[in-house]
């Protein structure tokens, strides 16, 4: 086995076996994708929390539901949040069912709640998109890196068969380049796990606010003439 004295990070990657290099390349690509989703979800959740807070303040400040609805569907607005869409879906369905004079008030409210629930589910699906990818990266990446490490160590010890006297200088480079795969697996997994836990908590808080608003809005609609 050739004794390699240069143990720099780049040299270890360049001299790793083809399979270990493929594992490292896969982990690098997965890590870059997870960081992209991490920053994308961070801005999305922050924006959603801001829009939710602003709409709640505007809704409770203005008792005229028609004016609130006209503002929520104003043409050209790009900052329409999930809560506004839930409100708009419920209000439109309520007005539509109210025009049918023969309908029972309880049926009107049931239809309104169903409309808000359907919009709520769509908005939650949008907010939770790509979270499953982060969870998968956090759970699978260490094992992928470990696979590369095991394979690299196997090659390192197999190379000792061609060496008359095994020393640490002979086996150290092979083990070091194999352990790089584990390090890259952890580098990909740790940020993904932290981001997933954080964003799942933030989305759960938003979901609670959406559900609370839907119930309060239903109570407001029940008092409408």
The count of domains in the chain is 1
Three-class secondary structure of residue 78 per DSSP: coil
Residue 162 has pLDDT above 80, yes or no: no
Asked if the structure places residue 2 within a domain, the reply is no
Asked if the structure places residue 206 within a domain, the reply is yes
Residue 4 has pLDDT above 50, yes or no: no
Q: What's the rounded Cα separation, in Å, for the pair 155 and 16? A: 10
Residue 75 has pLDDT above 80, yes or no: no
Asked if the structure places residue 180 within a domain, the reply is yes
Asked if the structure places residue 4 within a domain, the reply is no
Single pTM value for the model? 0.81
Q: How far is CA 89 from CA 25, 28, 81, 168, in A?
A: 46, 43, 13, 70
Asked if the structure places residue 86 within a domain, the reply is yes
Asked if the structure places residue 3 within a domain, the reply is no
pLDDT-above-70 percentage for the chain: 83
Average pLDDT of span 80-86? 90
Give the domain extent around 163: 9-71+80-222
Asked if the structure places residue 168 within a domain, the reply is yes
pLDDT at 141: 92
Asked if the structure places residue 186 within a domain, the reply is yes
Q: By 3-state DSSP, what share of the chain in percent is helix, strand and coil, each rounded to 5?
A: 80, 0, 20
Residue 14 has pLDDT above 50, yes or no: yes
């Amino acid at each position: 086995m050739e004794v390699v004295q240069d143990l720099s990070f780049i040299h270890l990657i360049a001299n790793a076996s083809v399979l270990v290099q493929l594992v490292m390349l896969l982990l690098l690509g997965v890590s870059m994708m997870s960081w992209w989703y991490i920053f994308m979800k961070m801005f999305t959740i922050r924006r959603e929390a801001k829009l939710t807070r602003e709409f709640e303040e505007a809704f409770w400040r203005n008792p005229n539901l028609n004016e609130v609805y006209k503002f929520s569907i104003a043409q050209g607005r790009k900052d329409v949040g999930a809560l506004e869409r839930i409100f708009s879906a419920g209000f439109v369905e309520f007005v539509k069912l109210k025009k049918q004079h023969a309908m029972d008030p309880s049926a009107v409210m049931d239809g309104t709640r169903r409309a808000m629930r359907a919009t709520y589910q769509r908005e939650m699906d949008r907010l939770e998109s790509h979270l499953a990818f982060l969870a998968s990266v956090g759970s699978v990446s260490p094992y992928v890196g470990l696979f590369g490490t095991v394979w690299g160590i196997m090659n390192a010890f197999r190379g000792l068969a061609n060496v008359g006297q095994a020393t640490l200088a002979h086996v150290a480079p092979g083990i070091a380049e194999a352990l790089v795969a584990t390090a890259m697996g952890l580098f990909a997994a740790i940020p993904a796990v932290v981001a997933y836990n954080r964003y799942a908590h933030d989305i759960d808080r938003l979901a609670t606010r959406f559900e609370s608003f839907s119930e309060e809005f239903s109570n407001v609609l029940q008092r409408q003439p």
